[in-house]
Structure 1
Amino acid sequence: MPKRILQGTVVSDKNEKTVVVRVERRFAHPVMRKIVRRTKNYKAHDENNTCKVGDEVSIQECAPISKDKRWTVVEAAQA
């Protein structure tokens, strides 16, 4: 089964080798038929501490690295 890849924005890089990535998803509300935005924060492993706040990154599912980290940074585009 392929691993999920999500795209989002780095909102925190204060932790060592970890970034917090905000991922936004859009969907049509089942009753109102309006496009709704929902965001969720994911902690992702950043081995070289290259990502900074505001960067657009792609994160990929992986085996658990710590209590909260289940994602790794795959690709980073500098802002």
Structure 2
Amino acid sequence: MAERNLRKERVGVVVSDKMDKSVVVSVERQLKHSIYGRIIRLKKRYKAHDDKNECKVGDKVRILETRPLSKTKRWRIGEIIERAK
């Protein structure tokens, strides 16, 4: 049986869990400005599928790329790395 292609994965923090079976995950990355050399923080928000509604706000999670599940959902929760305190 053929293996699936490598899927993208990101690590971020859950910022909203108000939807049913969906969460919003904020992923932050850092890069160096091409001219000035200053470190810039970029944040991006992804909607991810949470089948069992087990993620809460503040949880650190790994999200995996998947097929389109709705108009805006293209990610799913892979694992909960750390629970919110």
**2:29 is equivalent to residue 30 of structure 1:** no
Larger radius of gyration between Structure 1 and Structure 2: 2
Q: Number of matched residues?
A: 79
- CA-atom RMSD, angstroms? 0.6
Percentage of matched positions with identical amino acids: 49
Give the alignment of 1:45-64 within 5 angstroms: 45-64=49-68
Deviations 1:33-60 (A, max 9, x none): 0110000100000000000000000000
Runs of 4+ in 1 over 4 A off after TM superposition: none
Residue type matched to 1:10 in 2?
A: V
Aligned residue number for residue 44 of structure 2: 40
**2:6 is equivalent to residue 5 of structure 1:** no
TM-score for the superposition, normalised by structure 1: 0.97
Aligned residue number for residue 65 of structure 1: 69
User: Is there any run of 5+ residues in structure 1 with no aligned partner, and where?
Assistant: none
Aligned residue number for residue 20 of structure 1: 24
